[in-house]
Amino acid sequence: MTKLISVVLAASLAAGFTTLVLAQEGTAPTAPAQKEKGEKGKKEGKKEGKKAESGAKAKVGEAAPNFTLKTTDGKDWSLSDAKGKVVVLEWINPECPVCVRVMKDGTVANTLKGVTEQFSDVVYVAINSSAARASSLEGTAAYMKEHKVEIPALLDNDGAVGLMYGAKTTPHCFVIDANGKLVYQGAIDNNDGRGDGKMNYVVNAVTQLKKGESVSPTETKPYGCSVKYKR
């Protein structure tokens, strides 16, 4: 009887030990797996956070995001420098035939003249975000000089400002009121091949600001070549 009990006890202990080993073998990988999953989640979270941050866009009706870029002569230019003034931003690309066309046919010059007639201290700025083509950035100063448009020309080498504003084409224009609020974004006028060019959206927006009226339209579809962002 004693011998039988000893055998049973030995068998039970062996089974218990086996169960313990199996349990440990079954659960041992769980901790690293959970840790790995947790680390992966953290990385994905950080990645999504960066994506959301880089994808932030300026919105009509809200404060225009500040930025600082170098001009073609190497000086810093910040949107905050124009605080208290109406600002017009126009995205350009010297190698875009549409940009060349609106320069040659006087659209840009007439737009500059039209907004200046409303506010003598209006700030009109050209921005080149087409860094995918180095020749485009390098040719910006000559392009402005050739067409005799004397406004600050800024170089957005990494495309950060263009992406922040959601600039899609050249030209693509934005109007900011004296309080720093973005009030219009879209085409410079309605001469996209289907319109007659008689409706200048930028001048219209600035004229309405001068009259104290609400800007309308606040958004139109920009036309032209796509901005050649650096990849």
pLDDT tens per residue across span 170-217:
999 999 999 999 999 999 999 987 767 789 999 999 999 999 999 999
**Res 57: pLDDT:** 81
Domains of the chain, by residue range, sit at: 2-54, 68-226
% of the chain residues with pLDDT over 90: 71
Nearest alpha carbon to residue 228 among 156, 175, 153, 165: 156
Q: Token digits for 149?
A: 């448009």
**Res 125: pLDDT:** 98
Q: What is the pLDDT of residues 5-27, one digit of tens each?
A: 343 334 443 444 333 333 333 33
Single-letter code of the amino acid located at 121:
D
Strands 182-186, 68-71: pairing kind: unpaired
Asked whether the predicted pLDDT for residue 169 surpasses 60, the reply is: yes
Q: What is the pLDDT of residues 81-99, one digit of tens each?
A: 999 999 999 999 999 999 9
Nearest alpha carbon to residue 69 among 57, 78, 60: 78
- With residues binned 3-state (H G I as helix, E B as strand, rest as coil), the percentages for the chain, rounded to 5, are 45, 15, 40
Nearest alpha carbon to residue 87 among 63, 56, 55: 63
% of the chain residues with pLDDT over 70: 75
CA distances from 90 to 5, 32, 33 (A): 94, 54, 52
Q: What is the pLDDT of residues 142-161, one digit of tens each?
A: 999 999 999 999 999 999 99
Asked whether the predicted pLDDT for residue 50 surpasses 60, the reply is: no
Beta-strand ranges (E) seen in 52-197 are: 68-71, 76-78, 87-91, 123-128, 153-155, 169-170, 173-176, 182-186
Computed over every residue of the chain, the mean pLDDT equals 82
State the pLDDT confidence band at 55, using cuts at 50, 70 and 90: very low
Domain boundaries 68-226, CATH class:
alpha beta
State the pLDDT confidence band at 108, using cuts at 50, 70 and 90: very high
Nearest alpha carbon to residue 61 among 206, 218, 186: 218
Asked whether the predicted pLDDT for residue 44 surpasses 60, the reply is: no
